[in-house]
Amino acid sequence: MKKIGFIGLGIMGKPMARNLLRAGYELTAYDVRPEPLREIVEAGARPGSSPADVAAAAEVIITMLPNSPEVKEVVLGKGGVMEGAKPGAVVVDMSSIAPLASQEISARLAEKGVTMLDAPVSGGEPKAIEGTLAIMVGGPEPAFAAVKDILATMGASVTRVGEIGSGNVTKLANQIIVALNIAAVGEAMVLAAKAGVDPEKVFEAIRKGLAGSAVLEAKMPLVLARNFKPGFRIELHIKDLMNALDTAHSLGVPLPLSAQVLEFLQALRTGGHAREDHGGLVQFYESLAGVEVRRG
């Protein structure tokens, strides 16, 4: 059984690492913060002293970090994964970053005989805990085949979509759809609330029809309960939409709806909601209409 390194024990990374331990994998973990590292060590992992130390102990190194700069620093920087990784190792970056950044990092790792896959995920903290994430993978087929069983301990679906960078292109498409869906739910439910119709009953009436969606099912109960505890933070969805727009602009693809929703999220960040769940986008519409969507 392969030895695994895991770097980045945040909202998503910590439960993902726990699922690898439950599956019986030998895990070496690292995080810049001592508390989540201590928790994972107590669950059975070996503590790494640096990304390089984690890489030296592993055949497969998984990173789960906030954005492109952090991944570049952890993988390519001083004391980074590239320093410790052995030729033949596979780096699986499960962060959501810019596709061009994945390609750049992959090219550098290849100089040392290390293969990289970009494998971002969708599903938020609940599915990370359950081990039922959707994992979209870009990179060489042989490396994908070598790690697919490992990824399957963290996800209900594991799909290779193409070469390096294509996993993150797929994730950007996912994040566009999720953002626009959350915006549609917020807009519609604020209309219902302002019209004096119980939003909870509207939810029950439409959830099994064409308007039903995974987003509606996941977010509407939390909105009704006014629970904006982060499963996926607004500030991270801003990052993803900015990456989507940068990528689209480099390809000459307009994303007018994504740009509009990005501005709504930016307004919420300015208003102090950056670390709340992205389902809290409803609050933007509520502030315009002067009404709250909540359980009656």
Q: Computed over its alpha carbons, how large is the radius of gyration of the chain?
A: 20
Q: Closest by alpha carbon to 247, among 100, 138, 69? A: 100
For strand 121-122 and strand 115-118, is the pairing parallel, antiparallel, or unpaired?
unpaired
Are 60 and 92 within 8 A, CB to CB? yes
Domain with CATH 3.40.50.720 in the chain: 3-164
Q: Is 171 a catalytic residue?
A: yes
Q: Which of 14, 127, 171, 239 is catalytic?
A: 171
Are 270 and 175 within 8 A, CB to CB? no
pLDDT tens digits, the chain, 296 residues: what are they? Answer: 689 999 999 999 999 999 999 999 999 999 999 999 999 999 999 999 999 999 999 999 999 999 999 999 999 999 999 999 999 999 999 999 999 999 999 999 999 999 999 999 999 899 999 999 999 999 999 999 999 999 999 999 999 999 999 999 999 999 999 999 999 999 999 999 999 999 999 999 999 999 999 999 999 999 999 999 998 999 999 999 999 999 999 999 999 999 999 999 999 999 999 999 999 999 999 999 999 999 97
To the question of domain 3-164 being in CATH 3.40.50.720, the answer is yes
What's the CATH number for 169-289?
Answer: 1.10.1040.10
Domain with CATH 1.10.1040.10 in the chain: 169-289
Exposure pattern of 170-208 as b/e (b: 16+ CB <10 Å)? bbbebbbebbebbbbbbbbbbbbbeeeeebbebbeebee
Give pLDDT tens digits for 82-120. 999 999 999 999 999 999 999 999 999 999 999 999 999
